[in-house]
Copies of this chain bind each other. A is one copy, B any other.
Amino acid sequence: MSALAQPSTESLQAIRSAFLDFVDDPFYVSELESVRYIPDGLLVLEHGRVKELGAYDALKDKYADLPVTSYPGRLIMPGFIDTHIHFSQMEMIAAYGEQLMEWLYMYVFPTEGKFKDKEYAQKIAALFLDELLKNGTTTALVFTTVFPQSADAFFEEASKRNLRMIAGKVMMDRNAPDYLVDTPDSSYQDSKALIQKWHKNGRLLYAVTPRFAVTSTDEQLEMASRLLQEFPDVYLHTHLSENVDEVQYVAKLFPESKGYLDVYDRAGLVRERSIFAHGVQLSDAEFQRLSEAKAAIAFCPTSNLFLGSGLFRLGQAKSEKHPVHVGLGTDVGAGTSFSLLVTAHVAYKVMQLQKRRLSPFEALFLATLGGARALYLEDKIGNFDPGKEADFVVLNLQSTPLMALRNPEPTAASLKELVDKVFSLIVMGDDRAIQATYVMGKLVSGTAQ
């Protein structure tokens, strides 16, 4: 055919492979209602967004003129979503021997001090985003540091790569070294300027980011609340009830509060688009309050074990009666891996220790559509519904000799076969299982087969 005959296909592209995504939450509805699996599918994109996903046989005639990128023997999923990570802690993964509070003061704060230097922050931001993409993570909710220039550096690098990222400058005005504290007023001014510069700038979004109750005065938490009132569609991102000593410390610092969550609640910070990392020590009443407020928790299993914080009660969070939005967080650098596959693996183990089964579909839901819901981004990412931004990963279930032995046939003909194979992906997979990562339909990491 001549180029003239098919002008409409210029903005189109098509990918053929097996596809897995979620259309609903497998914690609450059956696999048949929640899992969409197409063993031989065609994903058609237009201007980097999903136009259509269906069986290859059903769509091939309709798009006969379209060149197809094929990934035979691979599995394509929506890009992974990391609901809690610190870009400034990338270089200090595996800091030895402490639990939360000591670890912060001994290792984290000195490292974060380096991010006053914008050039340094920019260098790390670039490496950080490369590592995320290499691990198949296309969206993350990111702590930067107290220095606004470190947030600028992060947003600039994310913008260059056209990534759907959410981040914010850390607010912390006490209980930290002098070189790392701001003030209620400066944190307000700096955050406001960053919101005006970056929020909804391309795909970027802003999160008001008080570190945690320990390092913010009441005055600063009020400033955070003021920002949320002035900019109602920005996020709130902080830590909550990670470790027993921390919870006790917060009780001392805020004697008038009923509990840790209540500190944030009294400041008006518990609402939609509020994401709280950890929640390991939450009471049933606090889970219920999070459910009512439609706030979300980032479950960070590798971090919770690394710091000995405890076992997150995912069963409680995903209860029928008081459901709380939950996403997975790597929490690098207390978390020990950038990979959401590894994170899902450890989540499984955390649930096994609680005598509850986490199905591979539930785990992968948390890493994709569940994360998108937790971040109120379900209209933009999380699955292959038409109109969504085409961020996706190409998974190789034979990425090591051992995985190839475990999965002699890399593709699944049925949901039953698929459960087994994706479970092995979660348990045995790491960055090597991510053959390619696409952002807005564009290959940004790995290889086109």
Residues of chain A having any CB pair with chain B under 8 Å: 90-94, 96-97, 99, 127, 130-131, 305-308, 310-311, 336, 338, 345, 348-349, 351-355, 357, 359-360, 400-402, 405-406, 419-420, 423-424, 426-428, 430-431
Contact = CB atoms under 8 A, between A and B. Distances in A.
Contacts of A357: 97
14 contacts: A93-B406, A93-B424, A94-B424, A96-B360, A96-B419, A97-B359, A127-B401, A127-B405, A130-B401, A131-B402, A308-B351, A308-B352, A336-B427, A430-B430
A306 B94 contact: no
A353 B359 CA distance: 24
Contacts of A431: 400
Nearest to A96: B423
A310 B353 contact: yes
Contacts of A428: 93-94, 336
Most B Cβ at <10 Å: residue of A352, A354, A406: A352
Contacts of A336: 345, 427-428
B349 A90 contact: no
A123 to B, nearest CB: 10
B401 A131 contact: yes
Contacts of A130: 401
Contacts of A351: 308
Contacts of A307: 352
Contact of A308 (B96, B353, B405, B420): B353
Contact of A405 (B90, B97, B355): B90
Nearest 5 A/B pairs, CB to CB: A308-B352, A94-B427, A305-B349, A94-B424, A96-B423
Chain B CB within 10 Å — which of A345, A427, A431 has the most? A427
Nearest to A92: B406
A245 B354 CA distance: 15
Nearest to A356: B308
A91 B353 contact: no
Which of A94, A96, A99, A305: most chain B Cβ within 10 A?
A94
A128 to B, nearest CB: 10
A302 to B, nearest CB: 8
A339 to B, nearest CB: 10
A402 B96 contact: no
A336 B92 CA distance: 25
Nearest to A94: B427
A432 B90 CA distance: 19
Given A93-B406, A430-B430, 5 more contacts: A90-B405, A94-B406, A96-B359, A97-B423, A127-B401
Given A359-B97, A406-B91, A406-B94, A305 B423 contact: no
A94 B400 CA distance: 14
Contacts of A427: 93-94, 306, 336
A308 B355 CA distance: 7
Which of A92, A97, A355, A424 has the most B CB atoms < 10 Å from its CB?
A97
Contacts of A420: 96
